[in-house]
């Protein structure tokens, strides 16, 4: 896919908006903030704004994070609007801003996204949206703050350069970024590995109460509303739980869900690569990647588990495995 010409796309734009998906993760925040910092630096005469849900406190190390706005009450019409790390359907409150923009640009790496902009740069093989945003930049115009934001994005979506989405190009990109000399071990520690005591406790509960299904090939766990209230945690505190379930020896698919309202669950899926969890998530109206995907489901915990495992079984049958 040809890389869009960023300077051409925005040369006549006076107002530019940027947004990413609801419940923004490290890549979503890193890619949108990287783009925001770059545009503000390189095009100081343009009005650039960024709209996201409130990021987790750990991302406070990214410059100008406090410039992020809530799109709820904004009605401005932008000359150019960027939708990054998702399709427009997951922009939440910012979707209306994308829809009303004169020119819509969609940058994403989700296999489930078929392109929702006038210009689409969708590369499912890319490690992260941050890696794709880097492609758009004039490398001579980067600075340490821009590099840090993109680095955090790549680190988060590749599990610190471990997951199979890490390609030679990813490492070349990272090589360019760390040339700026920021303290990358600290960034990894503080934004990826470090957990609060509460987060560690809730992970412990979720792991303790997990179940193995389908001869140990599936691990599942949940956190319900009552438990969330008891520990006073929210969705930002569950990062890493589903990966930990997937790490169990013999487990191909991990399912982690938390209750968003009575019998409504946000479901996270991870696979070892045999089962395509994006396909399952897409069936239920969600999406993602082959090895990491998500969706929203209604019903009891057991209904949700049964609905998902039926699809895992069907895929195993197809594979004769």
Binding marks (x or -) toward ligand 5GP, 10..29, rule CB under 6 A? -----------x---x----
Q: Which does 71 bind (CB under 5 to 8 A by kind): ligand 5GP, Mn ion, none?
A: none
What Rg value do the Cα atoms of the chain yield, rounded? 20
Is 289 an interacting residue with respect to ligand 5GP (CB under 6 A)?
yes
Query: Which residues have a Cβ under 8 Å from the Cβ of 295 and sit 6 or more positions away?
Result: 267, 269, 280, 281, 282, 284, 285, 286, 287
Are 20 and 98 in contact, with CB atoms under 8 Å apart?
A: no
* 50 or 281: CB nearest ligand 5GP: 281
Query: Which residues have a Cβ under 8 Å from the Cβ of 24 and sit 6 or more positions away?
Result: 32, 52, 53, 55, 85
- Show contacts of 285-290: CB within 8 Å, 24+ apart: 286/112, 287/87, 287/110, 287/111, 287/112, 287/113, 288/110, 288/111, 288/112, 289/109, 289/110, 289/111, 289/124, 289/165, 290/111
Is 85 an interacting residue with respect to Mn ion (CB under 5 A)?
yes
Q: Which does 291 bind (CB under 5 to 8 A by kind): Mn ion, ligand 5GP, none?
A: none
Applying CB under 6 A, among 202, 295, 304, 308 the residue interacting with ligand 5GP is 295
Is 293 an interacting residue with respect to ligand 5GP (CB under 6 A)?
yes
Neighbour-count burial of 181, counting CB atoms closer than 10 A to its CB (0-12 exposed, 13-18 middle, 19+ buried): exposed
Taking CB under 6 A as the binding criterion, the range among 42-50, 197-205, 216-224, 282-290 that sits at the site for ligand 5GP is 282-290
Is 117 an interacting residue with respect to ligand 5GP (CB under 6 A)?
no
Is 287 an interacting residue with respect to ligand 5GP (CB under 6 A)?
yes
Binding marks (x or -) toward Mn ion, 112..131, rule CB under 5 A? -----------------x--
Q: Which does 286 bind (CB under 5 to 8 A by kind): ligand 5GP, Mn ion, none?
A: ligand 5GP
Instruction: Give the separation between CA 321 and CA 315, rounded to whole angstroms.
Output: 9
* 158 or 276: CB nearest Mn ion: 158
Is 90 an interacting residue with respect to ligand 5GP (CB under 6 A)?
yes
Binding site for ligand 5GP (CB under 6 A): 21, 25, 90, 110, 112, 268, 286-289, 292-296
């Amino acid at each position: 896919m040809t890389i869009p010409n960023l300077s051409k796309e925005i040369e006549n734009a006076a107002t530019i908006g940027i947004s990413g998906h609801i419940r923004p993760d490290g890549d979503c925040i890193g890619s949108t903030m990287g783009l925001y910092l770059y545009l503000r630096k390189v095009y100081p005469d343009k009005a650039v704004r960024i709209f996201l849900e409130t990021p987790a406190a750990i991302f406070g190390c990214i410059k100008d994070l406090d410039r992020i706005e809530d799109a709820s009450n904004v009605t401005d019409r932008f000359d150019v609007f960027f939708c990054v790390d998702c399709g427009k359907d997951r922009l939440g409150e910012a979707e209306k801003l994308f829809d009303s923009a004169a020119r819509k640009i969609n940058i994403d790496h989700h296999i489930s996204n078929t392109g929702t902009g006038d210009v689409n740069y969708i590369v499912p093989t890319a490690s992260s949206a941050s890696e794709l945003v880097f492609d758009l930049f004039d490398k001579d115009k980067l600075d340490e703050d821009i590099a840090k934001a993109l680095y955090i994005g790549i680190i988060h979506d590749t599990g610190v350069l471990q997951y199979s989405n890490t390609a030679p190009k990813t490492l070349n990109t990272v090589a360019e970024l760390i040339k700026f000399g920021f303290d990358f071990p600290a960034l990894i520690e503080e934004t990826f590995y470090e957990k609060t005591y509460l987060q560690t406790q809730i992970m412990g509960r979720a792991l303790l109460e997990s179940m193995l299904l389908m001869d140990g090939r599936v691990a599942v766990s949940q956190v319900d509303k009552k438990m969330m209230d008891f520990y006073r945690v929210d969705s930002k505190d569950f990062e890493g739980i589903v990966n930990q379930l997937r790490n169990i020896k013999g487990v191909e698919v991990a399912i982690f869900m938390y209750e968003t309202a009575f019998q409504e669950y946000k479901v996270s899926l991870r696979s070892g690569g045999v089962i395509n969890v994006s396909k399952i998530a897409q069936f239920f109206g969600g999406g993602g990647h082959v090895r990491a995907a998500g969706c929203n489901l209604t019903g009891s915990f057991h209904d949700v588990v049964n609905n998902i495992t039926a699809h895992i079984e069907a895929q195993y049958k197809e594979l004769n495995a």
